[in-house]
């Protein structure tokens, strides 16, 4: 009936004008971002968490702290340590971008009917809604949303709790253990930083610059066709800070740490699986590489040399080596080979995205096969050595909050030049032993320890010289050895 009286030609213009009328009275646009995107790609939508929703959540949380109706954030202990916003229905956050005002609100879809399903109840489907004036549609849908997502992502990287992964020999016999990751992990909370690391300041700066340069060189590595990886060899006596430096590296770059125990790796296939299973932004650490594998095939020979040539090494270093070799011999020999390890380091990661640092540590750099540590494989060799005066100053600041002391600093400087003590031992002496122990008595304890170390070293030198002199007199004059 209506059609009879209403000319068909008027429908189009009326529609146009009614839109304009609506836009005039309500010139705003709403966009919603649901928690689960449900893009129908065949997967279970419940697990399709929307990346946009998560990024917006973080962005809003960071930007709403000063607002009256701010969002409440709770850190929950799930795997991602995600920040969960508990935003009451229709709570609103205003934002401003290049002078444009916007409004964010959150909501939940209310179920119309009660149904039984395996997924979450409908009431749990949350979303954020963005409202802005339609005049700014291009700016908001382009520049602004890009800015929100990028900032949200950056916050997520910062908030992510880093992890320390370890591999251990596990039973591989059943179906489930074969499917499980070979890595187990705990939260990585090591407090070491380059600020608290005791070493020569110039050397420290060089290492920090090198690390930062590496982490910012994605495009460079891509342009020269190299895998985005860097190898560091840390060497030096026990207690000079190799492990501490690795923790400082991880904290500086905000990387995860994979502590790879090579003796627990069954074969090269398992090694490949372990290395592929590492995430980007990670440091893979192989400690005591000289004892991890029979990399050179000369382990036994070297051991004999060590046992025979007692005069050449300090007693404590010899004991440490013996202890490590004993531990190694107790373990089943690993079938991982040097070539397997090097192949992975050289080639495999070219195919994996993300930056990776590999760190080898050793107390005895001279034991390593030159092929393993040549430049290109290990890009930087860092020697960590006995405590110098500059390193001592860092430790004195860390442990006693002392930056200068007229009497003790001069004495300690001289003693450190005359004798060798590891930063670990210096730190141990500086640490207050009794409650309320004053700084002077801690410094005094270090002076005494250094004096004792000096006397001991002098006595050892004397004994050595006497032994040599004795050997000399026992060789008959005119013999080949004497000549």
- The Cα–Cα gap between 8 and 429 comes to 97
- What is the DSSP-derived secondary structure letter of residue 75? E
In degrees, rounded to 5, the angle at the alpha carbon of residue 12 between the alpha carbons of residues 9 and 15 is: 135
Q: Does 241 bind ligand ATP (CB under 6 A)?
A: yes
259/444 with CB nearer ligand ATP: 259
Residue 30's DSSP bridge partners are 131
Q: How many residues make contact with ligand ATP (CB under 6 A)?
A: 15
Q: Which long-range contacts (CB under 8 A, 24 or more apart) does 452-456 make?
A: 453/419, 453/420, 453/421, 454/415, 454/418, 454/419
Q: Do residues 235 and 365 make contact, with C-beta atoms less than 8 angstroms apart?
A: yes
Q: Which of 29, 424, 431, 447 binds ligand ATP (CB under 6 A)?
A: 424
Contact yes or no for 388/240 (Cβ under 8 A): no
**Nearer Cβ to ligand ATP (106/363):** 363
Interface with ligand ATP by CB under 6 A: which range of 63-71, 140-148, 206-214, 238-246?
238-246
Asked if residue 446 binds ligand ATP (CB under 6 A), the reply is no
Q: Which stretch binds ligand ATP (CB under 6 A): 25-33, 93-101, 326-334, 419-427?
A: 419-427
Angle separating helix axes 439-474 and 389-400, nearest 10 degrees: 150
DSSP 422: -
Question: Whole-angstrom Cα distance, residue 318 to residue 312?
Answer: 10
Is the Cβ of residue 95 or residue 290 nearer to ligand ATP in the bound state? 290
Exactly one of 130, 239, 265, 446 binds ligand ATP (CB under 6 A); which one?
A: 239
Count of beta carbons in the 10 Å neighbourhood of residue 357: 24
Query: Residue 359 in 3-state DSSP?
Result: strand
244 binds ligand ATP (CB under 6 A): yes
Contact yes or no for 109/82 (Cβ under 8 A): no
- For residues 125 and 109, the answer to whether their CB atoms sit within 8 Å is yes
From 58, 204, 230, 242, residue interacting with ligand ATP (rule: CB under 6 A): 242
Let me know if 115 is exposed, middle or buried by CB neighbors in 10 A (0-12, 13-18, 19+).
exposed
- Say if CB 263 and CB 292 are below 8 A apart: yes
- By the rule CB under 6 A, 199 interacts with ligand ATP: yes
- With CB atoms as reference, the residue minimizing the distance to ligand ATP is 241
Nearer Cβ to ligand ATP (293/430): 430
Interaction with ligand ATP in 139-198: which residues (CB under 6 A)? 197-198
Separation of alpha carbons 17 and 39, rounded Å: 35
Comparing CB distances to ligand ATP, the nearer of 271 and 384 is: 384
Sites for ligand ATP among residues 357-416 (CB under 6 A): 363, 384
Pick the closer one to ligand ATP by CB: 243 or 419.
243
CA triple 98-99-102, angle to 5 deg: 95
Of the pair 152, 239, the CB lying nearest ligand ATP is at 239
The least distance separating ligand ATP from the CB of residue 264, rounded to whole angstroms, comes to: 18
Closest distance of CB 398 from ligand ATP, Å: 7
Quick one: which of 126, 423, 429, 449 contacts ligand ATP (CB under 6 A)?
A: 423
- Indicate whether 321 belongs to the interface with ligand ATP (CB under 6 A): no
Structure tokens at 435: 């409650």
Q: How far is the CB of 437 from ligand ATP (least distance, A)?
A: 18
**Pick from 93, 257, 372, 427: which binds ligand ATP (CB under 6 A)?**
427
**141 DSSP assignment:** I
Q: Does 251 bind ligand ATP (CB under 6 A)?
A: no
CA distance 310 to 172: 43
DSSP string, 394-414: HHHHHHH--S--HHHHHHHHH
Q: Site map for ligand ATP, 104-143, x if CB under 6 A?
A: ----------------------------------------
Q: State the minimum distance, in angstroms, from the CB of residue 288 to ligand ATP.
A: 7
Contacts of 49 (CB under 8 A, 6+ apart): 35, 36, 37
Of residues 238, 354, 388, 432, which one binds ligand ATP by CB under 6 A? 238
Among 106, 243, 292, 334, binds ligand ATP (CB under 6 A): 243
Bridge-based pairing state of the strands 183-187 and 282-286: unpaired
Smallest gap from Cβ 453 to ligand ATP, in A, equals: 16
Shorter beta-carbon distance to ligand ATP: residue 140 or 197: 197
Give the residue carrying structure tokens 């089943």: 332
User: 243 vs 282, which CB is nearer to ligand ATP?
Assistant: 243
- Closer of 152 and 241 to ligand ATP (Cβ): 241
CB 197 to ligand ATP: min, Å: 5
Shortest CB 323 distance to ligand ATP, Å: 10
User: Do 344 and 231 meet the contact criterion of CB atoms below 8 Å apart?
Assistant: no
Residues that bind ligand ATP (CB under 6 A): 197-199, 238-244, 363, 384, 423-424, 427
């Amino acid at each position: 009936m209506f059609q009879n009286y209403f000319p068909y030609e008027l429908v189009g213009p009326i529609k146009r004008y009614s839109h304009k009328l609506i836009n005039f009275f309500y010139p705003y646009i709403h966009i919603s971002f649901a928690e689960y995107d449900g893009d129908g790609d065949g997967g279970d939508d419940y697990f399709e968490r929307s990346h946009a929703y998560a990024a917006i959540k973080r962005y809003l949380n960071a930007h709403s702290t000063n607002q009256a109706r701010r969002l409440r954030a709770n850190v929950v202990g799930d795997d991602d340590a995600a920040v969960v916003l508990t935003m009451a229905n229709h709570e609103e956050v205003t934002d401003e971008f290049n002078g444009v005002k916007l409004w964010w609100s959150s909501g939940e879809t209310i179920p119309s009917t009660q149904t039984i399903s395996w997924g979450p109840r409908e009431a749990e489907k949350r979303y954020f809604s963005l409202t802005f004036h339609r005049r700014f549609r291009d700016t908001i849908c382009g520049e602004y949303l890009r800015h929100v997502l990028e900032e949200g992502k950056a916050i997520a990287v910062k908030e992510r709790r880093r992890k320390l992964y370890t591999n251990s020999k596990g039973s591989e016999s059943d179906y489930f253990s074969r499917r499980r990751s070979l890595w187990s992990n705990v939260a990585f909370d090591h407090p070491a930083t380059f600020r608290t690391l005791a070493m020569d300041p110039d050397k420290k700066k060089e290492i920090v610059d090198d690390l930062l340069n590496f982490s910012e060189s994605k495009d460079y590595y891509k342009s020269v066709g190299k895998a985005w990886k860097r190898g560091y060899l840390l060497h030096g006596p026990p207690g000079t800070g190799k492990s501490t430096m690795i923790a400082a590296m991880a904290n500086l770059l905000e990387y995860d740490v994979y502590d790879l125990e090579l003796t627990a790796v069954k074969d090269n296939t398992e090694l490949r699986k372990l290395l592929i299973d590492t995430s980007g932004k990670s440091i893979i650490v192989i400690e005591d590489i000289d004892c991890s594998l029979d990399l050179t095939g000369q382990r036994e020979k070297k051991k004999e040399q060590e046992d025979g040539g007692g005069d050449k090494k300090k007693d404590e270093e010899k004991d440490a080596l013996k202890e490590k070799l004993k531990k190694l011999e107790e373990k089943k020999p690993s079938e991982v080979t040097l070539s397997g390890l090097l192949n992975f380091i050289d080639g495999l990661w070219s195919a994996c995205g993300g930056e990776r640092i590999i760190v080898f540590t050793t107390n005895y750099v001279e034991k390593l096969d030159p092929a393993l540590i040549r430049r290109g494989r290990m890009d930087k060799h860092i020697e960590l050595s006995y405590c110098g005066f500059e390193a001592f100053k860092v430790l004195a600041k860390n442990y006693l909050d002392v930056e200068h002391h007229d009497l003790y600093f001069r004495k300690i400087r001289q003693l450190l030049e005359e004798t060798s003590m590891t930063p670990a031992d210096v730190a141990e002496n500086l640490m207050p032993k009794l409650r309320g122990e004053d700084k002077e008595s801690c410094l005094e304890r270090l002076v005494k320890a250094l004096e004792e170390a000096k006397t001991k070293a002098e006595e050892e030198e004397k004994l050595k010289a006497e032994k040599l002199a004795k050997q000399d007199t026992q060789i008959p004059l005119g013999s080949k050895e004497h000549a």
